[in-house]
Amino acid sequence: MTQTLDVRTVAPRERHPLIFHTFEQLTPAEAFVLVNDHDPKPLYYQFQAEQAGAFSWEYLENGPEVWRVKIGKV
């Protein structure tokens, strides 16, 4: 079962650290679904900078009110 991390009620400054912590806890081939209130494109760029080649990113829902992204560890 894939874990869901809903950050819509988390303070903005705490979101990225929480998301990266959740990612670090994954074993290879595991994933979680991020639920957010805006397109997490800046987060994608941060993953590209810090985890290039080590993650997967798949949009499951593209707004306009809710975005769901499956983030996995390669």
Please name the helix (run of DSSP H) or strand (run of DSSP E) that holds residue 41, with its range, or none.
Answer: helix 41-51
Task: Please write the tens of the pLDDT for every residue from 22-65.
Answer: 999 999 999 999 999 999 999 999 999 999 999 999 999 999 99
Structure pTM?
Answer: 0.95
Condensed to tens digits (0 to 9), the pLDDT of residues 34-46 reads 999 999 999 999 9
Residue 64 belongs to what domain range?
Answer: 3-73
CA nearest neighbour of 34 among 25, 43, 74, 50? 43
For β-strands 67-73 and 3-6, DSSP reports them as unpaired
Check residue 19 and give its pLDDT.
98
- Identify the residue whose tokens are 């957010």: 36
The total number of structural domains that make up the chain: 1
List the CATH number of the domain containing 15: 3.30.110.40
CA dist., res. 5 & res. 33, Å (int): 6
pLDDT at 1: 74
Contacts 24+ apart (CB under 8 A), 11-17: 15/43, 16/43, 16/46
